[in-house]
Copies of this chain bind each other. A is one copy, B any other.
């Protein structure tokens, strides 16, 4: 026999998806309003900056960001076109390449963070306590 999800599980599911989308859109709008690129640019650049070398293979970025391969390929294309990353050839495996963050990319991160942070504050921090945020993070981490 099939076990249906409980009412509360369905409700949590719906809220999770809806609020996740809403809050994301809010932040995207804030960024756009400030003349800044979308969050995916920030996330990718942040992953690169976390590296000692400031570099990652596309497939590594892909895994960390949980993005589809075609999506990452195009994201890198846009970032490169805008000068925020550079594509470096990779001798050890000629199928591949290495993506490195540029100075402009690092600078973009510093320009985006204040807007991003403020958006998070207004759309999340002001509405729930840090304790609640911790609980939220713990439960979401199990999914």
User: Quick check: B140 and A9 within 8 Å, CB to CB?
Assistant: no
Q: Complex formed: what's the CA distance from A20 to B16 in Å?
A: 6
Known contacts A4-B117, A118-B2: does B17 contact A24 (CB below 8 Å)?
yes
Instruction: Considering the complex, give the chain B residue whose CB is closest to the CB of A20.
Output: B20
User: Quick check: B125 and A22 within 8 Å, CB to CB?
Assistant: no
User: Quick check: B142 and A13 within 8 Å, CB to CB?
Assistant: no
Say how many copies of this protein the assembly contains. Answer: 2
Min distance, Cβ A17 to any Cβ of chain B, angstroms:
5
User: A120 on the interface (CB 8 Å rule)?
Assistant: yes
User: A1 on the interface (CB 8 Å rule)?
Assistant: no
Known contacts A23-B143, A135-B139, A136-B139: does B12 contact A124 (CB below 8 Å)?
yes
User: Quick check: B137 and A12 within 8 Å, CB to CB?
Assistant: yes
Stretch at the interface among A54-62, A75-83, A98-106, A126-134: A126-134
Known contacts A22-B66, A121-B3: does B17 contact A133 (CB below 8 Å)?
no
Partner of A124, one of B120, B130, B143: B143
Known contacts A12-B137, A17-B20, A23-B17: does B127 contact A142 (CB below 8 Å)?
yes
User: Quick check: B128 and A139 within 8 Å, CB to CB?
Assistant: yes
User: A32 on the interface (CB 8 Å rule)?
Assistant: no
Min distance, Cβ A116 to any Cβ of chain B, angstroms:
9
